[in-house]
Amino acid sequence: MAEFFLELFSEEIPARMQNAAAVELQRRCLHALQFLKPTGANIFFGPRRIGFTAQVNEDDRAGKSDFVESVGPREGAPDAAIDGFLRKHGAERSELIIENGKYYLRRRLAASSAQATILAELPRFLGGLPWPKSMRWGSGGEFTWVRPLRRIVCLLDGEVVKFKLGPVETGNQTEGHRVHGKGPFEVSSAAVWEEKLREHRVIANQHERRAMIAEGIAEEAAKLNLSVAPDDGLLDEVTGLVEFPVPLIGGIDPEFMELPPEVRELSMKINQKYFALRDETGAPAPYFAFVANLAADDNGAAIIAGNERVLRARLSDARHFWALDLKTPLDALLPKLEKITFHAKIGTQRQRADRIARLAKEIAEQLGADGYESKQAETAGLLAKADLVTGMVGEFPELQGIMGGYYAERSYHGWDGPLVGHAIRTHYQPKGPSDDVPTGIVPVAVALADKLDTLREFFAVSEKPTGSGDPFALRRAALGVIRIILENDLRLNLLPQLRGDKELFGFIIERLRVKLRGEGRRFDVLDAVLAAGEDDDLVRLMKRVAALEAMLGTEDGKNLLAAYKRADSIVTREGEAGLDVDIALMNLVEEKQLNLAIRGAWERLGLSKGMALLGDSAEDLLTQERYPEAMVVLASLRPVIDAFFENVTVNADAPELRRNRLRLLNSFTWAVDQVADFSRIEG
């Protein structure tokens, strides 16, 4: 095996672009090297470099002249000498042989034999590496790269693979840290590259760098009995900003702790890439953690002071917006919403606020709210979008709803403020699959009203998602509706809330299918339950799905499904749709037992009502939503239907006997279909 190693060294690469670029680099390198059968591929990325390494196989067709040999220490030499030889050549001990019982020898494919393969493809692939944003530079300005490209290291088994990318030629030299580095240095393998970069104060491995940051800021915070607020996204971003992480802790002036924590922490995160800290009770602490990119002689004192000064200015601006916004009650901002267009075909934000208010009140009442709660839901719905015209949200759009909640608490004193404020603060939730859903009648009513209004209005003007395009986030809104209803166990009929729009209801059901698929659950069971009769109560729908899933996981369930498909195939093929059977024509015990079992199942499930068969049902399991028991009833049909198929000939010679047996099978499939259409369930 031979090692291929590539490093592209440039000016600073934006953190958000590094991972995707390294992954794309790997894909292109693997394609270019495919004839050398690369294995063990690995990528590196950081602020000024992306890299790739892999092992490539020796060409089976290579002759003796295609190989070169490197002579190492004598047999019996100290381990340190052997390890040094291995590091120099980027080799493993398993690759060494002993020549004539005297010297360790490494034999490898000559670079010239494999370079032709690499040179034929690699430069072309690298030159077209896509970047979200790039620069034209070099003589003539024809070469584009994310930032000016400075060096390219390209090695095959330690030897340089010569080519040119834009104005830069490949070599075996790279650079370390801008400040702590000691100038350019040569590398001969990926391991040597990583080791020498560490000596020059660069941690090349992004996973190691990320762990150093997480552990470092946690250790520094622990010295003050503090903990770091989890933020994986910020941790990833900071990992892409520093090459040699040095964790530090700064302080926040007491007057800024009066700001809402979301304001303070968002300003720290967005503008400065600082981590928020928590005290022993979990409350925000007057400190922040950050990561410097160098080790200062004063242990970072000057760096900390500079960052505290910058944060002080940032938070002063935020405090100005906070004080200014508090001077105007939220309801006084409603006229400004009349001047903001929500969508050209739908209307203004004020019109939207009025719709959300009405719908929130209706939903609250349907969920059993009293007069006080329904009024609070209406008020919160009306004011939910008012913070869009505040100075704070103008500065930090991410705080929509959150600031409205704080301002509502200040605008409405007594009991009204906290309830209305909480409903406004949470009405955008859930924003993602891991986000919590609102709880409580008023917050739930407002959050549902916001999402249902969005869905209803955009579908009404035919602005629907197409393919992968969803500019108005309607799929997210639909998933939010589903999660709020299911996780709060809300008994709510959806179709009236959707103005009876069956297409929109189908869109929401499709999102439910996607959700089930993502959870590893059977969405074919959902289709089977829906086919048994339209049900717009999602909680009831999922109870039926869960019960059917559990039954199908048993042997009785699996065999019942097989029997159903067999019976359905026979009935469908013969075209017999009747349910009335003649007991007098049943001359086999298996027929009689199946008939009794089916009629008993009808009665227990509540299917015999109005059919003058066995009178009113004693249990009516389906209406009572006793779905697990209903599945037990279905499963009990399994042994009798098995016995019927084993001992009864359906296609009897006598027409009346044949018809009667077909109707008996149809009675069986009909009973099952009232619970779920088993024909839609995969075997």
Compute the Cα dihedral for 568, 571, 575, 581 and give only its sign.
Answer: negative
Give the H or E element holding residue 41: strand 39-46
Using the predicted structure, report yes or no on whether residue 111 has a pLDDT greater than 80.
no
Residue 360 structural domain: 331-489
pLDDT of residue 614: 43
Same-domain pairing of 259 and 299: yes
Question: Can you spell out the DSSP letters for 170-202?
Answer: EESEE---TTT--S-EE-SSHHHHHHHHHHTT-
- How does pLDDT run across 82-94, given as a tens digit for each residue? 888 777 766 667 6
Same-domain pairing of 8 and 147: yes
Q: What is the CA radius of gyration of the chain?
A: 35
- Give the number of domains in the chain: 4
Position 536 in a domain: no
Same-domain pairing of 44 and 177: yes
Q: How far apart are CA 82 and CA 86, in angstroms?
A: 6
pLDDT of residue 475: 96
Same-domain pairing of 125 and 218: no
Lowest mean pLDDT segment, chosen from 114-118, 385-389, 507-511: 114-118
Position 401 in a domain: yes
Query: Strands across the sheet with 275-278, in order?
Result: 227-228, 275-278, 284-292, 246-251
Same-domain pairing of 368 and 483: yes
Question: Can you spell out the DSSP letters for 223-281?
Answer: TTT-EEPP-HHHHHHHHTT-SS-EEEEEE--GGGGGS-HHHHHHHIIIII-PEEEE-TT
Position 324 in a domain: no
| Phi and psi at residue 53, to the nearest 5° | -145, 150
Same-domain pairing of 37 and 135: yes
Same-domain pairing of 630 and 483: no
Same-domain pairing of 284 and 299: yes
Same-domain pairing of 219 and 195: no
Same-domain pairing of 572 and 651: yes
User: Nearest Cα to 386, choosing from 416, 421, 350?
Assistant: 350
Q: How far apart are CA 526 and CA 491, in angstroms?
A: 18
| β-pair partners for 71 | 105
The number of beta carbons lying within 10 Å of the beta carbon of residue 309 is 10
Position 520 in a domain: no
| pLDDT band of 412, cuts 50, 70, 90 | confident
Give yes or no for a contact between 174 and 9, defined as CB atoms under 8 angstroms apart.
yes
Q: What is the pTM of this model?
A: 0.79
Give yes or no for a contact between 99 and 130, defined as CB atoms under 8 angstroms apart.
no
CATH of the domain at 50: 3.30.70
pLDDT of residue 613: 43
Position 143 in a domain: yes
- How does pLDDT run across 1-31, given as a tens digit for each residue? 789 999 999 999 999 999 999 999 999 899 8
| pLDDT band of 264, cuts 50, 70, 90 | very high
Using the predicted structure, report yes or no on whether residue 110 has a pLDDT greater than 60.
no
Position 665 in a domain: yes
Lowest mean pLDDT segment, chosen from 84-98, 175-189, 222-236, 581-595: 84-98
